[in-house]
Amino acid sequence: MITLKDWRMTVVGQLEGLIQPDDLMNQLTFIMDANQIYLVSEHLEREERNLTRELRQQQNEAYLASLRAAQEKERKKREEWEQKPWKEEEVQQQKLAEERRRRNLQEERKRKLECLPPEPSPDDPESDKIIFKLPSDSRVERRFHFSQSLTVIHDFLFSLKESPEKFPVEANFPKQVLPCIPSEE
């Protein structure tokens, strides 16, 4: 009979000749009982090695996952840091563009106001007073000469501070949108 003993295969029992079956069983049982400690010890050591290997593998996998997470976090942080000046610059550019647009709009309003023809006198028979209701529910009135185009009306309304940047001019009766095209100068 051979068993693993002290890390090597060792002969632990040897039977020769004719043996009765009962004696054979008794001898084998005796040899197994005598070497049971080595078998159990080897079995436990094997289990411990397997558990140690599995634990080491799990630790390695956890370490690699943690390492990947740390690298990903570092990559995102680096990208964010690299993008930050671009984002700040982009926000600054948007602010500048918005400020430039507002300034251009104010200049355009001022220019339209300066280009308006003078308001006709109230006793001029070739003129009429028009009352406008603005989106803010405020009312504005002004006299216009009959010969003036609808564009002059649009320019007058555009030059008001409370008027929106783009708007339609609508008549009350009959209800319709007037074809006022802003003048380009």
Judge whether residue 176 has pLDDT over 90. Answer: no
DSSP string over 21-36: HHHHHHHHHHHHHHHH
Task: Tell me which of 14-23, 125-134, 176-185 is least confident.
Answer: 176-185
- Alpha-carbon distance of 41 to 48, in angstroms, equals 10
Neighbours of 98 (CB within 10 A): 10
Mean model confidence pLDDT for the chain: 88
Q: The tokens 């000469």 sit on which residue?
A: 145
Task: Name the residue ranges covered by the structural domains of the chain.
Answer: 116-178
**What does the pLDDT read at residue 19?**
87
Using DSSP's 3-state secondary structure scheme, residue 169 falls into strand
What torsion, rounded to 10 degrees, do the Cα atoms 62, 67, 70, 71 define? -140
DSSP string over 94-161: HHHHHHHHHHHHHHHHHHHHHHSPPPPPTT-TTEEEEEEE-TTS-EEEEEEETTS-HHHHHHHHHHST
**What does the pLDDT read at residue 43?**
86
Read off the pLDDT of residues 78-120 as tens digits, 9 standing for 90 and up. 888 887 777 788 888 999 999 999 999 999 999 988 999 999 9
DSSP string over 56-73: HHHHHHHHHHHHHHHHHH
**What does the pLDDT read at residue 185?**
47
Share of the chain above pLDDT 70, in %: 97
Of the two residues 10 and 74, the one the predictor is more confident about is 74
Q: The tokens 């370490």 sit on which residue?
A: 63
Of the two residues 94 and 136, the one the predictor is more confident about is 94
Give 43's DSSP letter: H
Would the CA dihedral through 76, 81, 83, 84 be positive or negative?
A: positive
